[in-house]
Structure 1
Amino acid sequence: MLGAVEAKSTRTAAPPFLEVIWTDPISGRRGFLVIDRLVRGVCSGGLRMRKGCTLEEVRGLAAGMTLKESLYYRPENNYVPLGGAKGGIDCDPHDPEMREVLKRYLQAVSALLQAHWATGEDLGLQQKLIDDVVSELGLQSSIQAVYPLLPDRDGAIERMDRAFRVDVEGVALSELVGGLGVAESVLTALDELGQPHAGSRVFIQGFGSMGGGTARYLAKAGLIVVGISDSIGVIANPEGLDVETLLATRNTFGEVDRSSLRPGDQELPRGSWLAVDADVLVPAAVSYCITPDNQHEITAPLIVEAANMPVLPEAERILADRGIRVVPDFVSNSATNAWWWWMLFGDIDASVEQSELKIRSEMRRIVSDMFARAGREGTTLREAALAFTTDQLQAIDARFGLE
């Protein structure tokens, strides 16, 4: 039910182009693929795995991907946005059978992977596992559907291979770019609100690729990371956490080794994350976690969505009445998707410098425009961002057509 409600808040004008419901013949588990739109015959969107994943959830995420793709359309760029899509498997990623379930799902949708759907890691899955399974199935890549659109396929693949080998202070560049985009969204929003970076307090729910990267870049910008949460619980310190130590001791599920905590770091229950006193709240873990029933616990005047669909629409309306701003997910967490395509299409090279410069400048442009439009039109930030994507989609449709 929550997925259905949330899907309506990001729904593009027409119903999805294609919906696939798959039932695993061995385990009975279900998987889904929703293609919201095609542009030049191709769509883009990650593949997630979580227990309880639903078609409604995947449908909403696919619509969100159409919006994310449209954000970065600029006629002068090599990269032309694709349509939006999303895949999802109803399976616990800790399940010992998850790899075989994933393999059977990808085999079932392999024809779409070959020609129409470019995908990558999302919640519960890592890119290396997807790459390994795709290779076992005899496919070229999880993004091979894009290859016919590339002006220099061999150069693009070589550039991406180099980018995925880049390490930034112990963390892969590919695991940081999404968090950098979220962090730049936070910094731009603070600038728009007239609040200094140095000393502003931030709490980050989730410490995987998105949450961990966000924490690193915000700490480097002078913000005080007063708390993070993972699947175990909350770690908080009003004086600030040692982000780099936490990054160095987390596992592949984004769980922090508690033996690395310092005196003054507090372990709190999982459910206490909303109430930690902060100036900025970054939900970077799961969907539908901020509801009408728990939004009253939030004290932060600014929420920047790093997860997909973390704030329910009714909760967001109540938050707006309380004067709390929400930077929407399809803006703030869009950098990973854009980085892949800028890299492949040749708008940037494989260097850290070009990646960071492009993400920072584009995110700052989009978030600043969103604030300006919301101010002019008297709307919420989400409404302003949706109006912007409507303009962008019309321009894409006029040039390439939307299917």
Structure 2
Amino acid sequence: MVSLQATLPAATGAVAAPRLQLIWTDPVSGRQGYAVIDRLVRGVASGGLRMRDGCTLDEVRGLAAGMTRKEALHYDPASRYIPLGGAKGGIDCSPHDPRARAILTRFVDGVRFLIERHWTTGEDLGLRQDTLDDVVAELGLDSSIQAIYPLLDDAAGARARLAAAFAIDVDGVSLPELVGGLGVAESALTALDHAGLPYRSARAVVQGFGSMGGATARYLARAGVCVVALADAHGVIVNPAGLDVERLLLTRDPLGGIDRGQLRPGDTEAPGSAWLDIDCEVLVPAAVSYCIDTRDQARVSARFVVEAANMPTLPAAEAGLSARGVHVIPDFVANSATNAWWWWTLFGDIGADAAQAERKVRDSMRRIVTDMLTDAGQHGVSVRTAAQATVERKLAAIDERFGQRPASS
């Protein structure tokens, strides 16, 4: 069963009600799924699909609004890639539930009319891209991003280029699993540079060791930052002298679980909640939403909280952190590189090449984060406020160039 609610767009701004929100009820299990289109550009919106026990419509609505910001943030009128609108999907089901695959299949089938024409989607929390691709193929859909194909000058060539990029392996990890975390790491490194903190005197704690957290830890460690703690679903691994990130990365399970058999002398285990108490300069929440609340923020010792996960810091907690001089690099900035990389590659701004991807991600994220930190300092506002002001300017420019098309067009 599907319940739809459509809303008319506001004239301007990024805080309008969503264009469309959908509630799906699985006829077999009773579990619910949600799809929200926050905004359309040229009739299309972009955003991943997550699976987690307890996922809500409010959560998906907030994530879709965040996708609007991520898309707009990378708007460059000189690029081939023209940002899309923002969207998101979520299914209230644990990915470990034995029924998860069947529920996912029925959800995708239930919302196929959106995927066919208006919503490009991909992996998110609790869902791997290869699983989604298999489900899409089983249902006879062309691709989870097929809605974008009419916007391409050479759809066949673009698809071949993206497929080639997805096949690239970088030191044992696929390129698509690395680009997002590379963007997060570059955001953190830019923040350290802005504060005048040498990388080799900086310590990092990363909560979550999946695609985003694992790649973030890799690139921080390779830059010389000491990664002193990693958290997964089973607890926290700690070593004040630094963890062997590469060893743990290449032996983790598909959902980011750390193999405790790979721990070295000096590596210790701590409870899952301990990640907030470990002294560091860079704290990276890279797993779940809403994991830093008003009480938790007092435990944070970091100079920078770099949001690799979506919506990990509650607004009141962020206010408390800011009052203590802790800068939060918001999710729609720090973790925007995965989405941008897909479209840079598909539209042809870069080729199917790891070096090109790394250079583009690093250059774009360094420029964006430097501008945000500079604006925040000059105007005495938070990094989030400075970033949102940039988003609003770019949304206005996108609207002026393209306008908006209704979801029924």
TM-score range, shorter chain: over 0.9
Contact 1:208-1:254 within 8 A present in 2 as well = yes
Match of 1:61 in 2: 63
Contact 1:303-1:325 within 8 A present in 2 as well = yes
Distance 2:335 2:391 in 1: 15
Contact 1:396-1:402 within 8 A present in 2 as well = no
Distance 1:127 1:303 in 2: 27
Q: Identity rate of aligned residues, in percent?
A: 62
Q: Which of 354, 357, 365 matches 1:355?
A: 357
| Segment drifting more, 76-85 vs 368-377 | 368-377
The answer as to 2:113 corresponding to 1:111 is yes
The Cα shift of 1:372 comes to: 1.2
Letter in 1 for 2:275: W
Contact 2:337-2:361 within 8 A present in 1 as well = yes
Letter in 1 for 2:404: L
The answer as to 2:181 corresponding to 1:190 is no
Distance 2:309 2:43 in 1: 28
Match of 2:89 in 1: 87
Distance 1:378 1:115 in 2: 43
Match of 1:71 in 2: 73
Match of 1:168 in 2: 170
What does 1:184-333 align with in structure 2 at a 5 Å threshold? Answer: 184-333=186-335
Structure 1: which 5+ runs fail to align?
1-10
Contact 1:62-1:84 within 8 A present in 2 as well = yes
Match of 2:151 in 1: 149
What does 1:125-136 align with in structure 2 at a 5 Å threshold? Answer: 125-136=127-138
1:199-234 per-residue CA deviation (whole Å, 9 max, x = no partner) reads 310000000000000011111100000000000000
The Cα shift of 1:402 comes to: 2.9
Contact 1:374-1:383 within 8 A present in 2 as well = yes
TM-score, normalised with respect to structure 2: 0.95
The Cα shift of 1:152 comes to: 1.0
Distance 2:75 2:297 in 1: 34
SS at match of 1:311: coil
Q: Which of 133, 139, 142 matches 1:140?
A: 142
Match of 1:4 in 2: none
Distance 1:279 1:378 in 2: 22
SS at match of 2:165: helix
Match of 1:177 in 2: 179
* Equivalent pairs, count: 393
Distance 2:17 2:301 in 1: 37
Distance 2:100 2:14 in 1: 32
1:225-275 per-residue CA deviation (whole Å, 9 max, x = no partner) reads 000000000000000000011011100110011011000001001111100
Distance 1:199 1:262 in 2: 22
The Cα shift of 1:301 comes to: 1.4
Q: Which of 364, 388, 391 matches 2:390?
A: 388
1:50-89 per-residue CA deviation (whole Å, 9 max, x = no partner) reads 0000000000000000000001111110000000000000
1:10-44 per-residue CA deviation (whole Å, 9 max, x = no partner) reads x9231100000000000000000000000000000
Contact 1:63-1:85 within 8 A present in 2 as well = yes
Q: Which of 340, 343, 346 matches 2:345?
A: 343
SS at match of 2:221: helix
Distance 2:65 2:223 in 1: 33
SS at match of 2:228: strand
SS at match of 1:198: helix
Distance 1:340 1:133 in 2: 20
Contact 1:348-1:354 within 8 A present in 2 as well = yes
| Segment drifting more, 312-321 vs 11-20 | 11-20
Q: Which of 16, 19, 29 matches 1:17?
A: 19
SS at match of 2:199: coil
Distance 2:177 2:207 in 1: 17
TM-score, normalised with respect to structure 1: 0.97
Contact 2:14-2:395 within 8 A present in 1 as well = no
Distance 2:313 2:88 in 1: 19
Distance 2:366 2:404 in 1: 27
The Cα shift of 1:350 comes to: 0.5
Distance 2:90 2:210 in 1: 19
Distance 2:218 2:94 in 1: 28
Letter in 2 for 1:135: A
The Cα shift of 1:341 comes to: 0.2
